Amino acid sequence: MIISAPSQNSEPRLRIVGIVIGLGLLVLLAALWYVQILQGAHYGNRDQAQSLRRIRIPSARGDIVDRNGVVLANNRQSFDIVMYLEQLDHPSKRQNVVRIASETLAAINETLGTAVTLSDHDVRIHYEQRRPLPLTVMRDVSTNVVATFVERVNELPGADLIVTPIRQYPFGSLAAHLLGYVGKPQGVSDDTEQEPERFYYYQPDMVGVQGVEHACDKFLHGAPGGKTIRVGPRGGSVGTVSEKLALRGNRVVLTLDARIQRIVEEALDNVALPAGRELRGAAVVLDPRTGEVLAMSSRPTFDPNIFNPGVPAETVNAVLYDKARSPTLNRAIGARYAPGSTFKTVTLLAGLDAGVITPHDTVVCQGELRIGTWPRPFGCWNKHGHGALDMMGAMRQSCEIWFYQRGMAVGVDRIANMAMEFGLGQSTGIDIGNDLDGLVPTPEWKRQHRGEGWWDGDTAQMAVGQSFLLATPLQMANVAATFANGGTVLQPFVVKRIESPTGETLRETQLTVRRRLSVSPQNIELVRQAMATAVQSVDGTGHHAAVKGLNVAGKTGTAEADTAHGRIKRAWFIGFAPYEQPQIAAAVLFEDAESGGHTAAPVAAEILAGIFSKSAEKTAGDRGLYAD
Partner 1 sequence: MRIKHYFELLRRMDWWLVVTMIALMVISVCFIYSASYRGPGQPMPRYYQMQMIWFGIGLVIYVVAALVDYRRVCEWAPVWYAMAIGALVLVLVAGTKVYGARRWLGWGSFGIQPSEIAKLAVIVAVSYYLFHRPPETRRQWRTVAAVLALAGVPLALIVVQPDLGSAMVLVPICLALMFVAGVRVKHLAVVVAIGLALAPLGWMQLRDYQKARLTVFLNPNKDPLGAGWNLNQSLIAVGSGGLTGKGYLQGTQNLLGYLPRTVAPNDFLFSVIGEETGFVGGACVVGLYGVLFLRGLRIAADARDRLGSLLATGVVAMLFFHVFINIGMTIGLMPIKGLPLPLLSHGGSFVLATMTALGLIQSVWIHRRVY
Binding stretches for partner 1 (CB under 8 A):
1-5, 7, 9-11, 13-14, 16-18, 21-22, 24-25, 27-29, 31-33, 35-37, 39-44, 46-47, 50-51, 230-234, 238
**Closest distance to partner 1 from the beta carbon of 155 (Å):** 25
Closer of 27 and 188 to partner 1 (Cβ): 27
**Secondary structure (DSSP) of 561-606:** EEETTEEEEEEEEEEEE-SSS--EEEEEEESS-S-IIIIIHHHHHH
**Closest distance to partner 1 from the beta carbon of 131 (Å):** 14
**Closest distance to partner 1 from the beta carbon of 41 (Å):** 8
d(CA 377, CA 18): 123
d(CA 300, CA 176): 10
**Closest distance to partner 1 from the beta carbon of 42 (Å):** 7
**Closest distance to partner 1 from the beta carbon of 498 (Å):** 44
Closer of 232 and 521 to partner 1 (Cβ): 232
d(CA 411, CA 391): 17
**Closest distance to partner 1 from the beta carbon of 244 (Å):** 21
Closer of 223 and 238 to partner 1 (Cβ): 238
Q: Which residues contact 338 (CB under 8 A, 6 or more apart)?
A: 465, 466, 467, 469, 470, 471, 559, 560, 561, 570
Closer of 234 and 447 to partner 1 (Cβ): 234
Closer of 234 and 370 to partner 1 (Cβ): 234
Among left, alpha and beta (phi > 0; psi -120 to 50; other), residue 423 is left
**Closest distance to partner 1 from the beta carbon of 21 (Å):** 5
Classify burial at 172, counting beta carbons within 10 Å of its beta carbon; exposed 0-12, middle 13-18, buried 19 or more: middle
d(CA 320, CA 181): 12
Closer of 45 and 362 to partner 1 (Cβ): 45
Task: Return the closest-CA partner of residue 560 out of 453, 461, 455.
Answer: 461
Closer of 15 and 516 to partner 1 (Cβ): 15
What does the angle CA 450 – CA 455 – CA 458 come to, to the nearest 5 degrees? 75
Given a contact cutoff of 8 angstroms between Cβ atoms, the answer to whether 590 and 563 are in contact is no
**Closest distance to partner 1 from the beta carbon of 83 (Å):** 23
Residues paired with 297 in a beta bridge:
283
**Closest distance to partner 1 from the beta carbon of 134 (Å):** 21
Closer of 132 and 208 to partner 1 (Cβ): 132
Handedness of CA 480, 486, 490, 496 (dihedral sign): negative
CA-to-CA dists, residue 33 to 22, 40, 47, 218, angstroms: 16, 9, 18, 50
**Closest distance to partner 1 from the beta carbon of 19 (Å):** 10
CB atoms within 10 A of CB 535: 30
Closer of 230 and 614 to partner 1 (Cβ): 230
Dihedral angle of Cα 23, 27, 33, 39, to the nearest 10 degrees: 170
Q: Which residues contact 266 (CB under 8 A, 6 or more apart)?
A: 606, 610
Closer of 4 and 186 to partner 1 (Cβ): 4
Given a contact cutoff of 8 angstroms between Cβ atoms, the answer to whether 535 and 439 are in contact is no
Task: Return the closest-CA partner of residue 556 out of 200, 569, 178.
Answer: 569
Among left, alpha and beta (phi > 0; psi -120 to 50; other), residue 163 is beta
CB atoms within 10 A of CB 530: 25
**Closest distance to partner 1 from the beta carbon of 104 (Å):** 24
**Closest distance to partner 1 from the beta carbon of 225 (Å):** 24
Task: Return the closest-CA partner of residue 481 out of 628, 345, 626.
Answer: 345
d(CA 463, CA 344): 6
Closer of 18 and 379 to partner 1 (Cβ): 18
Closer of 18 and 377 to partner 1 (Cβ): 18
